[in-house]
Structure 1
């Protein structure tokens, strides 16, 4: 029963994420567990289980509109990546994995000697941005503060996670899968585009 309940919570959480557009995995898991009457935290699925259920859900409802929407997001991501080509951009997150929803930001990893190098690029282009430090997990339970720059390109939010050049072979862990976030280069994102 416990495995079945765990799976039902994962499926319900995935449906909530797909329908809401901006619900986090933790909030969706919480709502799904409450809806299914589960109070035992040991029964709750991991983020990776929810993501697998979300992939399955999106595949079931893969419409031409969904493919077009994902291609549009990836085209916008490619434009952003080309704008920051000198920082070896890599797409990460839901746009890469195909689980993007309505308000999903474009999430890029950029590699730079300093955060200021990227800030100067934004200033030269007269792009208003916000900066905050976030905690990023690495292997061996190492947590480091890194800068996240955000701005809007039209009505799409772009997030730039700035990593030092030394991190190119020691990438932070994906918060969903718990494995290093390799992301996808420009050429890999181009290869992912599906025919409409």
Structure 2
């Protein structure tokens, strides 16, 4: 096999590894690919460059996704624009694959923000109802150690926000792919990209500009996604994780009352607080959902644990009377029964995307 052909095969294999998230770093992907394809040792200079691998990632993505990839890229850029408008006070710049168009399966949205106050950014995200995690990474380059602060924000797409000092806003970092200053886009520049490359999304980009408007369904999704990694005592919750439980409870409630959006939201969201404060998950859920659910849904979530006591026969007379006096008592008890039944380890549950789409449909069709 010629050296050029070997290099192309390694680039393709490295791209495949990165596209399917078997590897996330270029160097590890290319060295693993070289070991698989080359029978002998290869000098570092003979390995494909990061740019060559990125081009092959593009080819792999086209092969596996076709037109869906262009649609997803447009959606990711639109979400990036929404996030950047929320963070407008911190001079946000879009970077990475969503800007360049080289997205792959599992790509997140990378945005650089500029501020001397991590707390100010945290406060802005909290006010927007966006759950997030702060991660500090120590990096050593050229013998100098630096600590970078990242915000990981969950939602329809994952975001990584990297915080830089304001005085560096005009000094873009060097790209590990091109060796040149990193490509970046401001809000205005991203608006132009969307208008040019995704004209069908133009009206949505305008809608995204409306201040203070947050898609409540994205808030729900961002609160639910972390539950996939929360596991409880299998004696009481053999169904695997809290997200699976929540989807089971939703499915059971939908079978009983398919058009009661407020009840269905309570069924789906009643345990989201476990991803925030497991010691008081009810209060945590209500605080996180404040402004995004109705009073009735909030009441159902607030009392779903007391309803379990009613089912057990351990509720005091005063508690029982207080709950029974509510016009939503029957709905509460239905929620409690679904909550108790939604603990089957082998039950089939819908995907979260399907559930969110169903709820969006209820809002669209019934207001």
TM bracket (short chain): 0.7 to 0.9
Number of aligned positions between the proteins: 193
- Deviation readout 1:66-122 (Å, 9 max, x if unpaired): 211110111111111111111111111111111212321111000113222212212
Structure 2 residue corresponding to 1:101, chosen from 87, 100, 104: 104
Range that drifts further, 140-149 or 63-72: 140-149
Matched, 1:146 2:154: no
Structure 1 unmatched runs, 5+: none
Is the partner of 1:110 in helix, strand or coil?
A: strand
Residue aligning to 1:187:
188
* Residues in 2 aligned to 1:62 and 1:122: alpha-carbon distance in whole angstroms: 32
Contact map agreement 2:114 2:166 (CA 8 A) in 1: yes
Deviation (angstroms), 1:55? 3.5
Larger Rg: 2
Deviation (angstroms), 1:127? 3.1
Residue aligning to 1:64:
67
Structure 2 unmatched runs, 5+: 201-367
Residue aligning to 1:40:
42
- Deviation readout 1:41-78 (Å, 9 max, x if unpaired): 42322222211333455567783322111101111111
Structure with more helix by fraction: 2
Give the RMSD, CA atoms, in angstroms: 2.8
Contact map agreement 1:106 1:156 (CA 8 A) in 2: yes
Residue aligning to 1:113:
116
Matched, 1:171 2:172: yes
- Normalised to the residue count of structure 1, the TM-score between the two structures is 0.82
Does 1 or 2 have the higher relative contact order (CA < 8 Å, sep 6+)?
Answer: 1
CA 82–22 in structure 1, closer or farther in 2 if over 3 Å, else same: farther
Deviation (angstroms), 1:173? 2.1
Is the partner of 1:172 in helix, strand or coil?
A: coil
CA 21–99 in structure 1, closer or farther in 2 if over 3 Å, else same: farther
CA 124–65 in structure 1, closer or farther in 2 if over 3 Å, else same: closer
- Normalised to the residue count of structure 2, the TM-score between the two structures is 0.47
Contact map agreement 1:136 1:172 (CA 8 A) in 2: no
Structure with more strand by fraction: 1
CA 104–117 in structure 1, closer or farther in 2 if over 3 Å, else same: same
